[in-house]
Each structure stands twice: as C-alpha cells, then as structure tokens.
Chain A
Amino acid sequence: MSDRKSLFSRAARAGRTALLLCAAIGVPLFFVNSTWIAARLERLLRLEVEPSFIGGRVLAEFPDPMGDDDGPGGYAYPLGQGRERGELDLVDYIVRRPVSRPIWGDSGAFWQLDAYFAKAVATGLPGGGFRAPVLHVYVQVQAAKPGAAGSTETAFGEGELLRFDPAHPWDYVISADGWSAQAEIRSADGAYRAPVLAIWDIGQRRLSLRIGLEKAPPLLTSVMKGGSTWHYVLVGAYDAARDGHFAALREGANLHDGGGAKDELAPRVFDLLAPPGTCQASELASEDAPAGVFALVEPVEAGGPAPKAYDPELRRRLEAETAKEGLASETDREYRRAALPAPSPADASRIGELFDLGLEDRCLTAIVADLSAKPADPTALAYRGAITAKRADRAAGIAEKVRLVAEAYRDLDAAAGSAAQAIAEDRLAVFICRGSVSSAVPNDVFGRAAQGASDLDEAARIEAGLGDAASADGHLADAAIAYEKAGLRVEAGARWATLAGRKGLPAALRLLLLERGFPIEDRGEDSRRDSR
C-alpha cells in the first residue's frame, strides 16, 4: 500500500515538474513562434474591425488597371516636383455605406469614399512639394429626373476639359488633393459648399474622403437610404494656378504642365475610373477639337443590382479551351525534349530550357558545371533554388519540406542579390524562379507571398520590355494570385483589372478573370469554329 502511495506521490511530483517546466520553457518558445500563433488565431477567428471605425462597410469596389496613368495613352507627367510614375495611377476606388452613428469620433453621420493609388509619397513636406494627385469625384446621388438640377459640365471653369454623360448629370463634386487634410464638396448649382475630411494614408496609398452628412442638404443625405449612386472619378496632376488645380497638358511636358496632348482640348485627366466593359483610353480620346467638343466620360454605378453570376456555358467553354491550350503546350514540350541534343558541356548554356522541360537531374548537372566556372551566376543559383523547392514539394515529412525550402531560399535570395547587374534575360529567370517558389510555398509558414508577387511583377515588366506580351500577361496573373495569397486585395485587383483590359488573352487567364467577376472577351464562336 505504501509502495503504491509512494509511486503515486512520485508520479504526481513528476507531473508537477513537467507542468512547471512547460510553463517556464513555454513562454520563450511561445514568443519565438508568436507570429505563427497569431496567424493561426487570425485564421480561426476571422474577425473584422467594426466598419464604422474605418469608414463603413464596403458598398462597391472598382479595381482600376495599373499603369494606365497616361490618360488616353502617351501622357507624360509634369517635369517639376520630381514626380514618379504611379503617383497619379488610381488602382482602386471604394464606395462605402454611409455611417449614421460613428463610434469614437466627433463627427456625426458621414459617407466615405476611398481612392487607392499605385504609389504614394509624403507630400506637402519639404522635398515633397505639390506632387500629390488631385482627385475629383463627381457624384450623381439620385437617378436623373426631369427638371433635376444636375450638371454635365465640369465644376471648375476649364477644369478637367471634360463633359459628363447626359444620362447621369452630377449633383455634387468632391475635390481633394493629397497634400491637404481638407477637401471640399459643392453642389452642381453652387448653393451648397462644405469641407470634407481628407485622410491621406501614405502606408496604404489611400486617400479617404469623409463627407459629413449631418448638416447636408436632403439630396445629399438621401445616400443614407441606399440605392444607386454614379461616380466619375478623375485624377490629375496638381497645379495651384489652374482651374480645379488640374495641371494643363501640352504636346511636350514642362515644369508645370503634362505632355502628350494631341490637341488643345485633350482632357487634363491622367487616370479615369472607366466603367466595366469600357475603355479609359477611348473615353479620354473622344474630344473633337475642331468642333470644340470636350471628351465625354461615363460614370461607374455603386449600389446597383448585383452583377450577374457568370454564364456556366461560357465557363465550360473556357475550361475546354484551357485544357486544349495545356495539351498543346505539353505536346510542344514533348517535341522539344525529343529534339534536345545529348548531354554535353553545352548544357550549361541551356539550364533554363532543361528546367522548363522537367529534366531536373540533367539540369542540376549543368548547374554544377556552370557554378564551378561562375560561382555567383544568378541564373544557375535561381534554377538550383527552384529545383530544391520542387524537391521540397515532393518530400515526405514537414520538417524535411521546411528544411528544403529554407535551402532553396538560400540560393534564390543569393541569385536575387546578384541579379541587379545581370542582363534582362538572367534577371527574368531569377525573378520567375523566386516569385514562383514564393507564391507556391505556404504564406503562413514562410510569409513570402508578397515578395513573390513583387518578383512576378518585375518579371512581367522585364518580359514586356523584351517584347513578349503574352508571357508578361501570364506573369501579371501569377503576381495577382500571389497578392491574393498575401491578403493584398487592392494590389491583386489592380492587376486583374489591367488584364481585363487586354485583348487576345489565353483561355486560362480569361477563366481566372471570369471567376473574379470581370467582364471578359467572349470568343465563343471562334472557339467553336476552331474546334470544328
């Protein structure tokens, strides 16, 4: 009996000791892994911040293509202030539901509109100058009725050199520029003017416009009831001396004026939020200078009927086309494999091709030979990293997978580090390899999705520079997928919107766009004819 008691007492003591050790050692171990633990909690709980803090629930979101900050095409930024491409590039526009009872704020009811840009700098500071974008949002808050007091002309004299769709005359215009915390709203008849809180979040590259509704006229407060509103969203370069602060455009850019205008009525708009299915370039090129007619632009509709679910027949067709494209690509690879010369020292010059054809062992042999001659060759390092990552995918056991991925990144990061001085083709290989691996490995574990997306973006740029538009589009789509994995919704949306504006995309990309709700080019008849 006493033996049993003693055994029990010893077991209890061992248990207590284990408990204590767990508590003591658990604290540092926990903190070492706290990012991972917080990510697990995030995935498990899936909370959202009370929307009224951040401006209200999203009513409608309009991704805008990236890189279209050249108006109708060919516009150049004014040369002063050291502006960089992308600063006038609208990439997303969000219309939020009005907030009737804001929490933790002194303001009453408000309505918030958010515009995201591709690039943002701290403007208004020494060195920042007046390089902030000017944003004008013309809003029609109710469907036009006979005798309604809307306008189809710009609110600012010459202003943007535009006219608005007669079917959607604007009721209010909100004018803001990124360097001031104060924007303004005014009605079409000029009877109502009020300040608007402009919040410029440089980190998020977002300009939020918070429109107070407490003392607003009934027409404006009618947005509280819900229903559709129509928005013309225009971005220009800042020039304090111009009407509406939209910088003028000339044939060639100078310190204050942009360049690329084909005539004196060229719209002063670098980026326009074009409605789905329309084209910014054609809208902004629609002026008739000899007749003295401004370009006509159309609004986007927020809060309208939900977009139609995509046509299952179209999806089925695209899936069939995608399979056909895949088969053609595989056949091509088979042919190239058959045509490949026997292994030789010349393999060192075709590492990329060997990798692409899936000949891993032969590729590795070539890489070893290449690295013995050029130890820091970025292409060889990048492909060796990519092969190691592929092996990680096939490896059994999580520890082994993690070890191999870490090993792959040693090569991939070294390759990226030495790629800056390399030729375009080598840099392309490095960014594709690291971008693809970073996009493929779990972001929760390695946290590389955003970097992968950025690499694939760079690959798309290089590919476009080399003249291969189709491959560039493919990399852009891969970048968008990687941004989605990284939770960077705005960045992903801008890339999908860019692709949605392209013609002649392969079926696989059109299928991806269709799944994300973008209107796509339907080449159904062609496809059926082809299949016959």
Chain B
Amino acid sequence: MDTTTDGARRPAFAAAIVAAGAFAFEAWFFNAAGRRGEALAGGLIWAAFCSAIFAWIAIGGRPDPARRVFFFTAALAFIPSFIAHLVETRGHMAVTSAEIASGQVPFCHIAITTSLIPAALLRTLDFPAQLSGIRAAFYPMLAYWLLSLLTIGRGWCSWVCFYGGLEDGISSLPRRARVDIGPSGPVLRRWNKAILAFVALAGMGTLVPVYCDWLCPFKLVTEYAEPTSLRSFLALIAFVGLFLSLVVVLPLLTKKRTQCSLLCPFGAMQSLLDRISPFRVAIDTGLCVSCGACDRVCPMLALNPEARSKGRPESSCVKCGTCFGSCSKGAIGYAIRRQSPTPSLPGRTKAGGSFFETLLSPALLFPFTALSFGMIISSGFSAETMTRLVRLVATGSFLIGGGR
C-alpha cells in the first residue's frame, strides 16, 4: 500500500540513518569504550546487535518485531550473567544469612515498590541490599526509575525490564492464543494495582519486602532463599509455581504477558505514574475503523473498544508498539502527550517527511530513548554474557576465575 516515491522518502531515510549512526556511537560508548580483550569483544558484539536493532526500527518504520528480538535476547542474556556472577562470588545461587548480613543481595527495580514508603517515612530500606557502590544498589536503581518516569514511563516494561523480556518472548512463541482472556481484561487489569497496594502497605507495616519474599517468580532464574525450613520451602514452592504458571504456561496459552499484567507491582506503579512521561501511544479516532485487530494482539490487555473510542490505550499499555503493525489504517502510533499519533516513521508515509520532521518525530525519538535505556541497562549483563561466551570459545570456561 505504500505509495511513497523514492524521492520523497530520501530525506526521511537520511534522518533514520543519522539517528542509527548516533545510536551506534552511543552503543559503542556504553558497551565497548575503554575495554580490552574479551570484554572489548563481548561489548562490541552487544553494541553491534543493539545498533542493528535500532537501524531495523528506524529504517523499517515500526518497533516490532525488532524490539521484541532485542528485549527477549537481553532477558535471556541476563540470566546466565547473573547466575554466573553469583556462582563466582558466593559459590551458589541461594541467599543465605551471610549474604543478607553483608548486604549482598542485588536490589532490583521491582523492590522499589515495597521500599519506597518506608524509605520516605522512616528513612529505612527494608531490603538487605547495598545502598550505593554498584548498579544493583538502592540509590542507582532509584535514579534509573526516576529517569524512566521522566522519559519512557511504562515503556520500561517493554524496552528495559530484564524480567519482562522473558515473558514477552515466551508469549510471542505460539502462533495463536489457545485461551482468550481478552473479555476478562478490565478485571485482570486491576489485579496488579491491588498487588501494588498490598505490597506497599505490607512493606510499610512490617518492613518486610513481601513481594520479594513470597511473590516474585523470577527467583527461579536469579536467587532464592535457601530451603532450610518449612517457611523457605513454602516460598520455594510459591516461586517455582508462579514462574511456571505466569511466565511460561499462561503466556504460551494466552499470548498475553500475564505476570506483567497481573502480578507485577512495579508495572502497576509505572502505569499510575505514566502521565509524567512525555511519550504516549495514541489512536487516531478519525482513521480507526474499529476492526479490533489491535485488541487481539496487545499483550497487555490495554486495548478494547472503549479505549479505542477515547483515542488512547488503557494505562497498562507498555508502549511496545506491537499493535502498530496490526492496524491496516495506520491509526496507532507514538505521540507526544495529547498530539495525534505518528503511525510510523514519516519516511514510510505517503507524505514522505522532511529530514528534521523525521528526526524529531516521536516515532523515531521514542524508540531511540527507550532502546538507549534498555541498551545501557543491559550493557551491564548482556555485554557481560557476550564476553563470557567469547571466553567460553577462547578458553573453554564460562566463569571468570572458575567460581568457588
């Protein structure tokens, strides 16, 4: 259907290539600059991969499927890096009294939900992490979260979160949904807000990170309390069950991100605070023909007839852009606050678009911002996994120092 002439497209393509060049420089700077040997090789591989992903988005005109390839790969790369690091420093994946006493438990963004109120009111962190000094400490994570609010908002959940990527990838594997949970969307969407309220209040009342203690399914691929008592054994059953059901089985059956939509308190918090972010997904109600194709593909149950009539998805939208490709009318796209959407990059539209229009359009700037965020956050672990793979090929060892 694309009737754009080559001449009209040229400035927009030039803009996309300039943006891709800028992104490649950024990827090199954060992943490879100043590194040597295996670390340089690993960093360059990851930088090249991220740069190719952005070029695919910028020139291809829409975020998916390139975003999903990046997001799933980053999540998969996170797991071996994290576990190898634990094995090297502790000799095991379990969290023991020694790690808790030494504040050696990494602080992840989801724990912000339980820590924020006690931190604000009591000046106490209810999590056995370091306050600063490493990326996975409280203050750096707080800073990343504040930055996300000012820039990508809930886009964190589809471009940055190393847990969400796993579920996003798994939910995209089946060709079609075997169970349709779309009609239950309005009820299900309230679930994670209820979980957020519970986690925040329980954290305040007990100074215990309740979500991390009992509800986090990702302990199976990160770290967990040693099952040395009935309590820790029950927690083990809970996190294994939650991982298999919410991260593997339900996403395969429903093609939806069930953990992110139902259980994740961080996602709920991002939804509530998403108004701070300048970027939105918007629906041009003039172009929309209410075919419902976008409702079916949305992995977060954020689209429904009511949302379409209002011209914006529900607050659970993670700005992944999966719906853009499903809309035959090009009615959905990234936008700035209350502006009309830019369905895809101007270079792909009939109008063509000037160099600067393309460069400064939300369709290009949002992926640039969000992928920068994801690429920089993942530079700590995905680039390290690449480094370890290079090491594995070169020396036959995945671990640095051989572990304990």
Contacts and interface: CB of A to CB of B under 8 A. Distances in A.
A and B associate: yes
19 contacts: A20-B360, A21-B360, A23-B278, A28-B26, A28-B30, A28-B376, A31-B30, A34-B144, A38-B140, A42-B131, A49-B124, A50-B125, A50-B128, A55-B101, A103-B208, A105-B97, A197-B97, A201-B102, A204-B102
A228 B369 CA distance: 58
Nearest to A17: B360
Interface centre among A45, A50, A199, A210 (most CB of B within 10 A): A50
A19 B360 CA distance: 10
Interface string A46-88: 1111100111000000000000000000000000000000000
Given A24-B372, A27-B151, 9 more contacts: A19-B278, A20-B362, A45-B119, A49-B103, A49-B128, A53-B101, A104-B225, A107-B97, A203-B102
Interface in B1-57: 26, 29-30
Interface string A161-203: 0000000000000000000010000000000000001010101
A45 B278 contact: no
B88 interface: no
A208 B101 contact: yes
Contact of B101 (A20, A50, A210): A210
Contacts of B129: 49
Given A47-B124, A49-B131, A104-B100, A26 B150 contact: yes
Contacts of B206: 103
A45 B141 CA distance: 14
A152 to B, nearest CB: 33
Contacts of B207: 50, 103
Contacts of B150: 23, 26
A38 B143 contact: yes
Contacts of B187: none
Contacts of B365: 20-21, 23-24
B143 A41 contact: yes
B101 A31 contact: no
A159 B278 CA distance: 71
A47 B26 contact: no
A55 B228 CA distance: 20
Nearest to A51: B124
B376 A104 contact: no
Given A30-B147, A49-B125, A106 B232 contact: yes
Nearest to B360: A17
A28 B152 CA distance: 13
Nearest to B228: A106
A37 interface: yes
B151 A49 contact: no
A26 B125 contact: no
A199 B101 contact: yes
Contact of B208 (A54, A104, A201, A208): A104
B213 interface: yes
Contact of B97 (A34, A48, A199): A199
Interface of B: 26, 29-30, 97-98, 100-103, 118-119, 123-129, 131-132, 137-140, 142-144, 147, 150-152, 206-209, 213, 225, 228-229, 231-232, 278-279, 336-337, 339, 360, 362, 365, 368-369, 372-373, 376, 404
Contact of B209 (A35, A38, A104, A181): A104
A27 B124 contact: no
A39 interface: yes
Given A23-B150, A47-B125, A34 B360 contact: no
B139 A42 contact: yes
B123 A20 contact: no
Interface residues of A, number: 43
A324 interface: no
A10 interface: no
Nearest to B128: A53
Given A20-B365, A23-B365, A26-B151, A48 B132 contact: no
Contacts of A20: 278, 336, 360, 362, 365
A105 B128 CA distance: 11
Contact of B124 (A30, A50, A107, A208): A50
Given A23-B151, A47-B119, A28 B372 contact: yes
B23 to A, nearest CB: 10
A414 B30 CA distance: 27
A20 B125 CA distance: 34
Nearest to B362: A20
Contact of B126 (A38, A41, A50): A50
Nearest to B206: A103
B21 to A, nearest CB: 14
B213 A104 contact: yes
A374 B381 CA distance: 46
Contacts of B376: 27-28, 31
Nearest to A33: B143
A105 B208 CA distance: 11
B339 A16 contact: yes
Interface centre among B26, B126, B362, B369 (most CB of A within 10 A): B369
Interface string A374-417: 00000000000000000000000000000000000000000000
B139 A38 contact: yes
Given A16-B336, A24-B365, A49-B131, A54 B103 contact: yes
Interface string A9-25: 00000001101110110
Contact of A19 (B102, B144, B336, B404): B336
A258 B372 CA distance: 59
Contacts of A54: 100-103, 128
Contacts of B26: 28
B123 A45 contact: yes
A49 B101 contact: no
Contacts of B126: 50, 103
A20 B100 CA distance: 42
B89 to A, nearest CB: 9
A46 B123 contact: yes
B138 A27 contact: no
Contact of B98 (A34, A35, A39, A201): A201
Nearest to A46: B123
A46 B151 CA distance: 26
A42 B147 CA distance: 16
A17 B357 CA distance: 10
Nearest to B130: A49
A444 to B, nearest CB: 12
Contacts of B208: 103-104
Contacts of A210: 97, 101
B55 to A, nearest CB: 16
Contacts of B368: 24
Contacts of A50: 118, 124-128, 207
A57 to B, nearest CB: 11
Contacts of A27: 147, 151, 369, 372-373, 376
Contacts of B369: 23-24, 27
Interface centre among A39, A49, A203, A208 (most CB of B within 10 A): A49
A219 B100 CA distance: 28
Contacts of A42: 131-132, 139
Contact of B143 (A37, A53, A105, A112): A37
Interface string A336-364: 00000000000000000000000000000
A105 B235 CA distance: 12
Contacts of B372: 24, 27-28
B173 to A, nearest CB: 30
A181 to B, nearest CB: 8
A34 B143 contact: yes
A17 B119 CA distance: 36
A106 B233 CA distance: 11
A29 to B, nearest CB: 10
Contacts of A203: 102
A48 B127 CA distance: 10
A14 to B, nearest CB: 10
Given A38-B139, A42-B132, A48 B101 contact: no
A37 B150 CA distance: 15
